[in-house]
Chains A and B, each alone.
Chain A
Amino acid sequence: MNALVLLHQGLDPSLALEPADGGTARPRRGDPLAAASDADRSALECALGLARQVTVLSVGPPAWEALLDRALARGAHRGVRLWDDALAGLDAAALGRVLALAVGRLEPDLVLAGERGLEGGTGVVPALVAARLGWPCLDAAVRVAFEDGLVVVQRRLPGGRREEVAAEWPVVVSVARDAAEPRYVSVRARRAAERRTVECWDLASLGLDPATVRRWIRLQVTALDWPRPRPRRTPAASRSVSAADRLRQLMGPGPGAPKPGSPARVLEGDPGGVADRLLAFLEARGLLRP
């Protein structure tokens, strides 16, 4: 079983950002770039647990070599970095196509990627890669396993439930942040690890040229600015309903932080009566299942 892990490096959003020209943002001066996101590291850990041969692939500039080195020190067997200046500023659609070609070259049985990157956080690139390859994509996996000749993942559903989804390999799996705890590799172990060099590929090695790749871009990021409140529609209640009910419809029950001092109904009295009224309250809110 050969696995390929897609790694990506980005700005850590918890660092302070400031908007820059050209519709991008930049970190405040002096902040280092982050390493791979937690989800990517989880993906690598899953791969190391499942596959005999693990390759890591990244589309990034030479500065990303450290990212791949660290993945190799964690136990990956082969590292590939694909870069050409034309690859800067690709959107998800174009990146998906480029990666799909690279994956085709490497012919793994299983492709793993973190569910969400650090900065863009769209999480669609693994699915796009799968779509271009014609492979199924199993996303948001919290557990990845082989069972009965299939790749089986578990996903979270609301309420603590899990959903099991399976597909035949080859398949793309996007892995949630907490699917696996990345192992710690000590600094000394990293230094001592056999320094397998990272292979560098360029567009020519995939049979592409910059113009083709740039034609694949479908979106341009035009602005990056601070969040502002945006209007949200509410259903205006129909006139046939009383004013009190209209208010009630507009105001909840819904998510919201409990505000101190907001009026709450308070019950008192004999336990039986209180229990009855409490149950009625829960039932009205749909919190009791028949």
Chain B
Amino acid sequence: MPVTREIWWNVPAWLAIGLYLTSALGVGWTAWTLLGHARAWRRARPVGPGRPLALGAALSRVAIEVFGHVRLRRDPAAGWAHLCLVYGFVGLFVGTCLVFVHDRVVPFLHGRAYLVFSFLLEWAGLAFLAGVGWMLGRRVGGRAARLERSRVALGILLLLGAIGISGFLVEAARIAVSRPGFEAWSFVGWILAQGLVAADVDARALHRALWGGHAALSALFFGLVGATALRHLVLAPVQILLRDRRAVGALAPASDEEPAAPLAPARLTWAQLLDASTCVRCGRCTAVCPATAAGKPLDPRLVVRATLRAMREARPLDALVGPDELWACTTCAACVHACPFQIEVLDKLVDLRRVLVERGAVDPAAARMLEAILDRGNAWGGAPADRADWAAGLDVRVLRPGDETDVLYWVGCAAAYDPAARRIPQAVARLLQAAGVDFAILGAAETCTGDPARRLGEEGCFEAARARVVATLAGVRFRRLLTHCAHCFHVLRNEYPARDGRDPVVHHTQLLAELLAAGRLRVPAPPPSGAPTEAVTLHDPCYLARHNAETGAPRAVLKAVRALEAVEMPRSRAQTFCCGAGGGGAWVEVRAGRRIAALRMEEARETGAAVVATACPFCAVMLEGETAGTRIRVRDVAELLWEGQARAGP
């Protein structure tokens, strides 16, 4: 018997026609539903700047995600299961295409090629079934808390399982009829065939029936791709290709038309609708959201689903999401970071906030904060003349308009007005002086960068604040802009007009790491015993670690303080858990559940560290508020470095 397989063996013409017909119907249905989505995207707003398509980089991103599943494998078990499923599916699909080629174009599946082909396909099928099986088991066993109970999802998994199993059974039935020896390479089918023979089943009839069933199920599958979350098979590569290349968490300016009008889908950008269409409701966003974890009424997944619903039902989005959900968000972007497709949950949420703000429906504490930014130039309502009070006795140069300096130290409002944060610039200033850096501050001329206003959704206030800062900066000359606040850093770097040609904004941890590496700052001597005396855990600020992908610099600085031994919290680096201050959270607290900072402090305590290191004054203030009853010290990395130096002596 030739080492090959007759493609249409035992398949009557009508069944073959049925296959093509039903498949065409299925594909047609999917195309139709996807076109419906596409029509809605086209009616939406165009995206603003920030989305140039560097095709090469984008394509490689797609390849990495589709074939490497990098983001999915952050949840290792689920990620690998899905990878198996995908490889299995892709393998089987490619196999079917090759069969088509063999049948219609050039027959090549003979002999060794056929054996290798069959063997590999068995593994593909097994991988596919293993993935599906794992997912079914997780759902049925109820162990994945972030998944929703969904009959549709269960049905799809069962369908996929049925397709896989029926595929093997078709093969088994075919083999059972004649059982040629070489088919042992299709080992699963071979083993099953033995069983069929032993059961004395009418293999031909079974084969025909199973073949028809397999075809029907496949056609159903094609049809469901458009109508269900399976949509992501088509849309995910598109979404990953086209997603925004702005930094995570950098917000786009608001559109200019009626700001207070209901947020109809047409007022969102096509990108926001595209990624809502891609969402598979895996719940990773909700699982990492600090507000959800603290019991606040925010559920990022619901925001995305509401967007999709709004799009399909042509209803305004603000009718589907309530204000309480919106104000709990700290804009930490953990949701965006966790999403396998990097769906911009944050953009939708802030757009909703913008609508509320324009209607005046804000918390009075938020209103006072915004008015303070406009009237006093800082969210605390402090006097501008008091801004340099932290520098008393430190001999720090204050720039006048027209002056020049190498490094302009942008101190920010938190350190100027919040007593708990004052030590940070004091430590930084002393370190810079020790390293001989030529730096100066703006003093009373500094005003709010507008970050809290923008995160709350008050674009007008942000634009006014930004214009003020830009004008101030234009009046002085400097080479580098230094800040110790992660929020100022993010805004100045990503949301301000580019400072053509000049060096980008640098965070104090970055500059300190640079100075340590260059030897301009002395590494403090180790403690007398030689071993670290205390454990320290670093709390990565969201706006530094996630929004700007900087996790190395703070660690480099900490490493230099050899009296401290670093331990990492479970949620660290880009997976860091917010301190709760972002998005206006430092001023407006949604009174539900627990304080977000309390949750983070619990996590810090569990590491057994005596010191919690931070790299942002907001984190320092929020976490310090949770240290009552513990002996934990919260210190910025600059303070720890300075303490280390002071301890070590000259």
Contact = CB atoms under 8 A, between A and B. Distances in A.
Q: Do A and B touch (CB < 8 Å)?
A: yes
Interface of A: 14-16, 28-32, 34-35, 181-191
Contacts of A182: 367
Contact of B375 (A28, A32, A185, A190): A32
B interface residue count range (under 10 / 10 to 19 / 20 to 34 / 35 or more): 20 to 34
12 contacts: A14-B383, A15-B383, A15-B385, A28-B385, A32-B376, A186-B259, A186-B357, A186-B458, A186-B460, A186-B461, A190-B460, A191-B460
Given A15-B385, A35-B375, 8 more contacts: A15-B383, A182-B367, A185-B360, A186-B461, A187-B459, A187-B460, A187-B463, A189-B358
B234 interface: no
Contacts of A32: 375-376, 384
A65 to B, nearest CB: 15
Given A30-B444, A32-B375, A183 B360 contact: yes
A125 to B, nearest CB: 23
Contacts of B357: 184, 186
Contacts of B376: 32
B461 A16 contact: no
Nearest to A41: B371
B358 A29 contact: no
B119 to A, nearest CB: 66
Q: Which A-B residue pairs are the 9 nearest by beta carbons?
A: A187-B460, A184-B367, A188-B460, A15-B383, A28-B385, A183-B360, A184-B360, A187-B461, A30-B385
B362 interface: yes
Contacts of A186: 259, 357-358, 360, 458, 460-461
A177 B166 CA distance: 75
B260 interface: yes
B358 A188 contact: yes
B202 interface: no
B534 interface: no
Interface in B318-373: 357-358, 360, 362, 364, 366-367, 370-371
A15 B364 CA distance: 22
Contacts of B461: 186-187
A181 B460 contact: no
A120 B384 CA distance: 22
In the complex, which of the residues A34, A186, A191 has the most CB atoms of chain B within 10 Å of its own CB atom? A186
A16 B364 CA distance: 25
Contacts of B375: 32, 34-35
Contacts of A185: 360
Nearest to A192: B259
B602 interface: no
Interface of B: 259-260, 357-358, 360, 362, 364, 366-367, 370-371, 374-376, 381, 383-386, 444, 458-461, 463-464
Nearest to A29: B385
B259 A28 contact: no
A186 B354 CA distance: 10
Nearest to B460: A187
Nearest to A187: B460
Nearest to B256: A188
Given A35-B375, A187-B460, A28 B383 contact: yes
B260 A189 contact: yes
Contacts of B364: 181
A191 B366 CA distance: 20
A14 B460 contact: no
A189 B444 CA distance: 29
B262 to A, nearest CB: 16
Nearest to B375: A35
Contacts of B358: 186, 188-189
Nearest to A183: B360
B464 A187 contact: yes
A171 B558 CA distance: 68
A59 B461 CA distance: 28
A31 B377 CA distance: 10
A99 B486 CA distance: 51
Nearest to B361: A184
Contacts of B385: 15-16, 28-31
Contact of A184 (B362, B381, B459): B362
Nearest to B458: A186
A187 B381 contact: no
A31 B384 contact: yes
A16 B386 contact: yes
Nearest to A33: B375
A187 B384 contact: no
A48 to B, nearest CB: 12
B30 to A, nearest CB: 42
Nearest to B374: A187
Contacts of A30: 384-385, 444
Contacts of A190: 460
A181 B385 CA distance: 29
Nearest to A17: B383
Contacts of B260: 189
A13 to B, nearest CB: 11
Contacts of B381: 14
A182 B362 CA distance: 11
B467 to A, nearest CB: 11
A50 B244 CA distance: 48
A35 to B, nearest CB: 6
A207 to B, nearest CB: 36
A14 to B, nearest CB: 7
Contact of A188 (B370, B384, B459): B459
A30 B381 CA distance: 14
A40 to B, nearest CB: 13
Contacts of B460: 186-191
Nearest to B362: A184
A88 B152 CA distance: 76
B304 to A, nearest CB: 26
B650 to A, nearest CB: 38
Nearest to B258: A192
A265 B157 CA distance: 74
B265 to A, nearest CB: 22
B302 to A, nearest CB: 26
A15 B382 CA distance: 7
A47 B259 CA distance: 26
Contacts of A14: 381, 383
B372 to A, nearest CB: 11
Contacts of A188: 259, 358, 459-460
A27 B450 CA distance: 25
Nearest to B376: A32
B368 to A, nearest CB: 9
A238 B157 CA distance: 95
B383 A184 contact: no
A182 B365 CA distance: 11
B383 A31 contact: yes
Contacts of B370: 184
A185 B357 CA distance: 8
B595 to A, nearest CB: 24
A162 B367 CA distance: 28
Nearest to A185: B360
B493 to A, nearest CB: 24
Nearest to B382: A14
A15 B376 CA distance: 10
Nearest to B465: A187
B434 to A, nearest CB: 31
Contacts of A15: 383, 385
Contacts of B259: 186, 188-189
Contacts of B444: 30
Contacts of B463: 187
B51 to A, nearest CB: 24
Contacts of B374: 187
Contacts of B383: 14-16, 28, 31
Contacts of A181: 364, 367
A31 B383 CA distance: 6
A1 B370 CA distance: 32
A220 B461 CA distance: 41
A29 B386 CA distance: 11
Nearest to A190: B460
